Amino acid sequence: MGTARTPKPAKYFVALLSSDAELLPTVENDLSAVLSPIDLRSEVVPWTASNFYAKEMGAALLRRFLSFAALQSPETLAAIKLETQRVEHQYRIAASGGRRVNLDPGYLDAYKVVLASTKNAGQRVYLRDGIYGEATLLYHDAGFHGLEYTYRDYLWPEALAFFTDLRALYLSQLRQFA
């Protein structure tokens, strides 16, 4: 029989999506005020995964991943999702209520990348307060690998490079705690 143990702290990140490149630095400042200073940024890349957000957010969407210096418990994922929703709400278009930025938080540990969502699905587990968690990338054979439901943009070379760098940073931080 196993023994319940407190998990190691996780490395939190947020995936930003917006058609307004000038908005990104402002949103980044808001996120670092909530989560801790940003310690890793991906390049900004055109988001071509689908047209799902085009009506609400416009065309020519841009994707960037950010990570935050402080390691936190994996159990804070739902609270962080609720905070990022509050930040998203600040930037809604008053007339239409549409979002100018989409923020998807998650965390990384040595074995996986976990995303937060407000939508239920077969591969998601309920956390609390209407928030679900989903393991979307698994680390094995010296790299991250997706699952059949993994969002395509998380499999892009730029995203995999970000998560690989983030894992190395995370493991370095963990060694400092030992």
Mean predicted lDDT score pLDDT of the chain: 95
DSSP, res 119 = S
Per-residue pLDDT, 178: 64
Per-residue pLDDT, 27: 97
Sign of the four-CA dihedral 153, 73, 42, 64: positive
The vertex-18 CA angle with 105 and 24, nearest 5°, equals: 80
Per-residue pLDDT, 93: 86
Per-residue pLDDT, 8: 95
Residue 62 in tokens: 């841009």
